[in-house]
Amino acid sequence: MKILIAGFQHETNTFAPTKASYQSFIQGEGFPPMAHGDEVLELRDVNVPIGGFIQWAEAQGHELIPVIWAGASASAHVTEDAYERIAGAIVDHVRKGGFDAIYLDLHGAMVTEHLDDGEGELLARVRNIVGNDMPLVVSLDLHANVTARMVELADALVAYRTYPHVDMAETGLRAAHLLARRIEHGRPFKRAMRRVPFLIPVNGMCTLVEPARGMYGMLESLEKDGLSLSFAPGFPASDFDECGPVFWGYALDQEAADQAVDALWSALVDEEARWDVPFLSPDEAAREAIDASRDATKPVIIADTQDNPGVGGDSNTMGMVRALLRNGARDAAVGVIWDEHAARAAHRAGVGARIRLALGGGSNVPGDSPLEGEFEVEYLSDGRFRFDGPMLNGMTGELGPTACLRIDGVRIAVSSIKMQVFDRNLFRVAGIEPERMKILVNKSSVHFRADFEPIAERILVAKAPGPMAADPADLPWRNLDARMRVRPMGPTLSALRASAA
């Protein structure tokens, strides 16, 4: 076969402070940088879905027509300019024809300045050109907000099953197998879809622990006799009516698809309370980490979840840094603070210099502000590194001019480019050996666990001021379906509005 392939990934937090521009996709911001044409094929060995698909296609002797691959760190809306340029590149190649099938590597939670459902719109534009008979399969992120339009327009959607996302390439391979089955079958699959009636906090979706681990175990146990099942817990910060968790599945028999999806839905809804998540205040987390680290042989790790750039934060709030300083933490490190001005000031001053700065605090988050003080410049680098952890193993990363600034007992990795801490090398590129620290504060929610859990004494989750509300009930929803409960066991949006009136 000749298969057209392309990728366009963005997780949109509509409440976040910074939008995703075309330049964001050129840089990648933790994803591979934008690739065009044959450059896309160089992703074959990278742990992204299109990498798994490329490996399968080449092994099977299929001819690939690569168009573009573009991803950017989670943020507020994708600009209309960025969307139309990237989606336009895909649609223009589709219009040229000359292929037998299409594979798209999408995220599933893209909101743009002019569209609530970025993926649904892209699929609609593609279908308008190729018609309903062209096989079209799509891989999605576990945090996809899957819409009815997406399910209707694709022959098959398949989502990651791990968070941290260590199975991205594997998901691309599953999409490839679904494409092969769709072509062999000769007609579309029967499909089923059910929406969960409440939002799940991001921290409750980690598949390394219960209840998510058991949920995906059940999903895999039900996959037999040609069934394909997926569960996307959703991204609970995209303010549109179809935001939220969804189960879906494909089979040759409608009853088989319905029964499996219904069983998964019932199992989750019947144990709704298990999906709720407790959080610590910054001072509680700092004190607990200090106490636990006294006799520990490994670092205690604090997830600064509400400023995670992987979900729309700008990675520069200072709540956890202040809490560590207030409570007298020693041998603590925080990473990575995105503050290009501070990083460049450190480079101008040089290693060993002491400089006065107003560090971070640039997101205009209530309760947060820059940290003013005198910092010692301990280390400088160009910010280039390699990912050695499980998620993006083998890929290179770019933080721009990077520095380690020390204040009292706290070292702070400061970068010029924003990136979530999901690899230990983001500390090492700032001269900090994470294994030697008593306490590590990571600007991340869950992804860091893939590389940091093996070295962690304990993992704590802190709710410091930040752009991404860890509890979706804290968000000022406007467009969410009013019947959705805003957290597990919580009120519906309509009830919340009524109580506030």
- Measured distance CA(471)–CA(117) in Å, rounded: 23
Tell me the per-residue pLDDT of 137-163, one tens digit each, with 9 for 90 and over. Answer: 999 999 999 999 999 999 999 999 999
Could you tell me if 70 and 162 lie in one domain?
A: yes
Could you tell me if 446 and 308 lie in one domain?
A: yes
Farthest-apart Cα atoms in the chain, separation? 70
- Would you state the pLDDT for residue 494? 96
* pLDDT for 389 beyond 90: yes
Tell me the per-residue pLDDT of 220-260, one tens digit each, with 9 for 90 and over. Answer: 999 988 899 999 999 999 999 999 999 999 999 999 999 99
Give the count of domains, the chain: 3
* pLDDT for 501 beyond 80: no
DSSP state of 471: S
Burial of 296 (0-12, 13-18, 19+ CB in 10 A): middle
- Would you state the pLDDT for residue 312? 87
Could you tell me if 321 and 451 lie in one domain?
A: yes
Domain boundary among 152, 187, 222: 187
Q: Helix or strand or coil: residue 416? A: coil
Range of the domain at 139: 1-187
Could you tell me if 328 and 439 lie in one domain?
A: yes
Could you tell me if 461 and 476 lie in one domain?
A: no
Could you tell me if 316 and 425 lie in one domain?
A: yes
Tell me the per-residue pLDDT of 298-345, one tens digit each, with 9 for 90 and over. Answer: 999 999 999 999 888 999 999 999 999 999 999 999 999 999 999 999
Could you tell me if 286 and 410 lie in one domain?
A: yes
Could you tell me if 39 and 140 lie in one domain?
A: yes
Tell me the per-residue pLDDT of 170-180, one tens digit each, with 9 for 90 and over. Answer: 999 999 999 99
Quick check: 313 and 16 in contact, CB under 8 A? yes
